[in-house]
Structure 1
């Protein structure tokens, strides 16, 4: 069973602690072929989470939770407040040892500073929260910093902003492990509580020999009109064979799967920008604002405008203001 070791430094925001378990646990529960073990590993000096609602936490693992990984599993470093002398040397040493063993290593929010302090991001691209990007570039000039906080992958290192506790990063890792269909359904179950499709029983995981290339191709052409014949031609299958393969590998018929991905893309655009609904409808291939609203309401139970407002309200509740965390919490 793949192990996700979440390394907790003192003062880590509470939602940064709970989100990895929620994401990987949801993927595990909703897909019989997915299996993860999430370990919360306390770094030396860890006492409690930070604000806005601090709580104590007893964990069964310390750095031994990282050191015990003998295969290339995953270590995640969430955000944390500033440690005046940098992260403890035991932490940077454990991260370097994990990297040397071939572990996949991720960080989000201020956690990216810890990877940089360990020297793991020298000469690499990386991301952190937008409010902290300039500070990361200044403190670690050998790291190429993405100013927008998008999930950034460079070799075995995956970094991102800390919005909603690193959900985007966790979903990216799930996509790499099990394909986009599993990540889409995981996000759906996490946030939207969309009605289950009784005709779409879970099937086998998407493998490298299956529909993976066609699913990736669909992601790049959502703004195009796509028919069953188009998708079948790309997959090198008959329409009947395509339908059988889609049900087996994604649990959905091809056009239902395509619609789900379009709705997910609409969600992302609503969350991350101010584009009007008409523009989002065009970019997602849903055509008109009326068509977008119809399908969005059907699958999310709300309208695009209400979803955008609710998401941003949630982000404001769970994240620091645009000018960053309080001074004592800055890395």
Structure 2
């Protein structure tokens, strides 16, 4: 069954933010894409003379499972109340809201950011924090996942948050296919399981070796020795390159491999645990549920039914 994704055609919409969401989510077979706004007034994008014409009016937001709020120019200027009301109604009935770049300001103006973790473009972080002190503004990240509220730091990071949404809704394999379609790097921050291994970096070869030996016991000391570094220096440089400690990165990669195996094979849980180096079946179930939110068996059924 398709999940409807509505993109808001806001006044002063940023064409890049809109097109990123439209292209990545619009090409995902599990989504049905609609564009909501003022049918009588196509919105002129911020630059280049681009006009974005809605396919549906704002009332159609009610039928969507996901509402994407792209960035818009001059976020200090107010938006028409009808747009803010549509965002608020969507959230009130439990819909997922995705804000790209300055779209977070519209989300906050609609009352959704109070007490929630959100982010926006680095140029506007201080303004967002000042205007909406009840929001928990996070900086120096590409995107933030706060349950039914996802926000990204900029237009480029909008690609990451859209791929994260696909991964959450349809699994790792679907996100892999979407990444290949748009020639994108895997999601690039610790909050997401699929973590970028920077090409040409000092420790890329060490990480590559670890990915080929996930089923084996791997220690920080062994990785440091392979990188010809002291343990302390290795940990510091590893965290600089990946944004996380070595063992956290290793666990993330093992869970990613486990998710792929659950999605694409009928291997029993015991075998998946062994193939990914995550210990006994019981330990694997506990860790998987803690990190992914559901037991492996539920995850497998959920993805196979989509």
User: Deviations 1:203-259 (Å, cap 9, x if unpaired)?
Assistant: xxxxxxxxxxxx95999995662456717xxxxxxxxxx9x9579359xxx9xxx9x
Q: Provide closer, same or farther for how the CA distance between residues 249 and 13 of structure 1 changes in structure 2, counting only shifts above 3 A.
A: farther
What SS is found at the alignment partner of 1:158? strand
Aligned length: 213
Map residues 226-305 of structure 1 onto 2, 5 A cutoff.
226-227=211-212, 230=215, 248-249=264-265
Map 1:95-174 onto structure 2 (within 5 A).
Answer: 95-164=87-156, 166-174=158-166
Q: TM-score if structure 1 supplies the norm length?
A: 0.56
Note if contact 2:9-2:53 (Cα within 8 Å) is conserved in structure 1.
no
Contact 1:44–1:88 (Cα < 8 Å) also in 2: no
C-alpha separation in 2, matches of 1:165 and 1:49: 23
Distance 1:44 1:59 in 2: 6
8 Å contact kept, 2:46–2:72: no
TM superposition outliers: structure 1 runs of 4+ over 6 Å: 217-221
The reply on whether 1:36 has 2:31 as its aligned counterpart is yes
1:64 to 45, 59, 63: 59
What is the aligned partner in structure 1 of residue 291 from structure 2?
none
Q: Distance in 2 between matches of 1:113 and 1:120?
A: 10
- Is the 2:72–2:103 Cα contact (8 Å) retained in structure 1? yes
C-alpha distance 44-25 of structure 1, shift in aligned 2 (>3 A): closer
CA offsets 1:22-71 (integer angstroms, 9 cap, x no match): 1123332xxxxxx21111112588543323312223222120220234xx
With over 3 angstroms needed to count, the CA separation of the structure-2 counterparts of 1:188 and 1:101, relative to structure 1, is same
Residue ranges of structure 1 left out of the alignment (5+ in a row) = 29-34, 194-214, 232-241, 259-331
Q: Is the 8 Å Cα contact of residues 9 and 44 (structure 1) preserved in structure 2?
A: no
Hey, what's the Cα distance between the residues in 2 that align with 1:245 and 1:86?
A: 48
How far is 1:118 from its partner? 1.0
* CA distance 1:154–1:217, shift in 2 (3 Å): closer
The CA RMSD over aligned residues, in Å, is: 3.6
Higher relative contact order (CA closer than 8 Å, sequence separation 6+): 1
Is the aligned partner of 1:4 residue 2:35? no
Relative to structure 1, the CA distance from residue 126 to residue 216 in structure 2 (aligned partners, 3 Å threshold; closer, same or farther) is: closer
| In structure 1, C-alpha distance between the alignment counterparts of 2:11 and 2:144, rounded to whole Å | 25
Gaps of 5+ in 2: 186-191, 198-205, 217-257, 267-271, 277-306
- TM-score, normalised by the number of residues in structure 2: 0.60
Kindly state the Cα deviation for residue 182 of structure 1 after the two structures are TM-superposed: 1.8
Secondary structure (helix, strand or coil) at the match of 2:215 reads helix
Distance 2:98 2:26 in 1: 17
8 Å Cα contact 2:87-2:110 kept in structure 1? yes
